Homo-oligomer: A and B are copies of this chain.
Amino acid sequence: SMGAAPRVRTESGWDFRPFGRIQYDMGYVSGRDRLMDPGLGWSNELRRGRIGVRGAIPGGFEYKVEVDFAGNDVTLTDALISYDAGDFKITVGQHNPFQSLEELTSSRFTSFIERAAFTDAFGFERRVGLSVNYANGDFRWDGGVFTSNIDDLTSDEQDSYSFDTRAVYSPEVGGAQLHFGGSLHWRDLQSQPGNRYRQRPLVHSTDTRMIATPTLPVTEETSYGLEAAVIRGPFHAVAEVHWLEAELFGMTDPTFFGGYAEAGLFLTPGDTRGYSGGKFNRTRPARTVDEGGIGAVQINVRYDYLDLNDAGVVGGQQNLIGASVIWTPIDHARLSLSYGHIEYDDAAIPAGADRNYSVDSFGVRAEVDF
């Protein structure tokens, strides 16, 4: 069978499929002169350039390897083996430790070209681990133990580990897809302590982070979040909150907080946001361009808050108001425009002597996936 790439399946259960994505971004962040930072202003990059293969081996085994070549470098994303035992599924290898709805939703299907501020700020990333998934009807639960990502594991002295778990209840009620979730995470940084928390201004092609803590002597992290979403026809709304408590060596432990609320609407009749497996999924336009339609057009608005000030640590606060337009001419192609007005308090990078200021951020992304 064939989506964007061919999938080869046999009756006995063998399955093989290449896949990938290309995402090009052009972005603009104001404040280049005021912050005296040549990394602001216009910038562009290959945001993601990925090729992967996935498949199944009879008896319940599945595998997936995906490599991101953006930046002329190698980053393994998912690299895993799983075993499917009915309602339970066991996964070993590098995968996401069930951090949050926003993080788990593929970058191909997010509403803005960059995710909510807390996801990067709190260091969400794929890690090598062993996890169990249980799915039954509208309920799913994931739990696992994780070490570090593949890159950090190239050091044999890296011995941090974490326990991560998430539960989701996603019933359909009166034609509406509901989503309620919560996750809990605890990580011991062991012999490699230290971490910092920071985030870019809604555009990834700049490396400037106005909101950032200094490197803190973190020994343990406890974090927990709540998720709620609804999809009904062309409309969707979603909100999340997430707290991260960092245990510091010789200092008071701060608790940082982030969250966002978002609403979106398809302007094209018959279109709706996809949802599957406890996260948002692909939008399949009702009338694609090859069939004479104009594809799907969606508008979204978002409020995104991040507070990295606590217990004497001053990392800054962010209040972002954003809007986006997403054009999906056909299932596997997308053009997105994202805009954010971001107010910073106690910013890590001063504008002269001023640490309370705002910037405007604009990004456009051209994208295909296969």
Residues of B within 8 A of A79 (CB): 22, 46, 49, 69
A156 on the B face (CB < 8 A): yes
Interface centre among A51, A59, A154 (most CB of B within 10 A): A59
Q: Give A75 to B206 CA distance when docked, in angstroms.
A: 21
B13 touches A4 (CB 8 A): no
Q: Give A70 to B79 CA distance when docked, in angstroms.
A: 10
Q: How many residues of A contact B (CB 8 A)?
A: 76
Q: A4-B14, A57-B333, A71-B150 are in contact. Are A81 and B367 (CB under 8 A)?
A: yes
B6 touches A16 (CB 8 A): yes
Residues of B within 8 A of A135 (CB): none
- Chain A residues 296 to 325 lying within 8 A of chain B, measured CB to CB, are none
B150 touches A45 (CB 8 A): yes
A370 on the B face (CB < 8 A): yes
A191 on the B face (CB < 8 A): yes
Q: Which 4 A-B pairs have the closest CB atoms?
A: A58-B290, A59-B289, A59-B290, A39-B156
Apart from A4-B16, A156-B205, list 16 A-B contacts with CB within 8 A. Answer: A3-B14, A4-B14, A5-B55, A24-B128, A38-B157, A45-B154, A53-B370, A59-B329, A59-B330, A61-B332, A69-B79, A72-B74, A72-B151, A72-B154, A92-B366, A153-B205
